[in-house]
């Protein structure tokens, strides 16, 4: 069965742990309902998310996320069809991305804009391989 994967990046607007908990709670509830899996890498300066599942459901979730005012500067980094999911057991895995993803200085220097779709996918492959 073919699935759609989307990776996007954005910057949090008014980020704190309560907002993050709310985002994760809603995402997990909606994703279970819609058969979507994925992961959210989040910290004070960066949201990097992978969504995967049925194409219509992923597109709908992505549209809702684009309209969410809790982040700005949203850029789609990858969109592809795939036969396998990276996060089949996770309605929405979260990861603080400490130490192994771009630093704030690298992001401010344009690292996200220089990164390729493969670079973004590699980040999520690493998250998928780390223990829970």
The whole-number pLDDT of residue 27 equals 85
Give the dihedral sign, CA 7/4/122/22.
positive
Measuring CA to CA, how many Å separate 31 from each of 90, 102, 130?
A: 9, 27, 21
- CATH code of the domain in which 21 resides: 3.30.70.100
Measuring CA to CA, how many Å separate 92 from each of 85, 103, 109?
A: 12, 23, 29
The answer to whether 70 and 14 are in contact (CB under 8 A) is yes
SS3 80: strand
Listed in sequence order, the residues at least 6 apart from 70 whose beta carbon sits closer than 8 Å to its beta carbon are: 12, 13, 14, 19, 23
What is the residue range of 72's domain? Answer: 3-129
Domains contained in the chain, number = 1
In this predicted model, what pLDDT tens digit does every residue of 63-114 receive, in sequence order? 999 998 888 899 999 999 999 999 998 988 887 666 568 888 998 899 999 9
């Amino acid at each position: 069965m073919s699935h759609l994967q989307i990776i996007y990046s954005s910057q949090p607007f008014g980020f704190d742990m309560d907002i993050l908990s709310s985002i994760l709670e809603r995402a997990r509830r909606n994703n279970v309902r819609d058969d979507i899996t994925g992961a959210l890498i989040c910290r004070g300066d960066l949201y990097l998310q992978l969504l995967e599942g049925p194409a219509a459901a992923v597109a709908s979730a992505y549209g809702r996320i684009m309209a969410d005012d809790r982040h700005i500067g949203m850029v789609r980094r990858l969109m592809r069809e795939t036969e396998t999911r990276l996060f089949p057991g996770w309605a929405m895995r979260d990861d603080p991305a400490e130490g192994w993803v771009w630093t704030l200085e690298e992001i401010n220097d344009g690292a996200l804009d220089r990164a390729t779709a493969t670079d973004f996918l590699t980040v999520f492959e690493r998250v998928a391989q780390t223990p829970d």
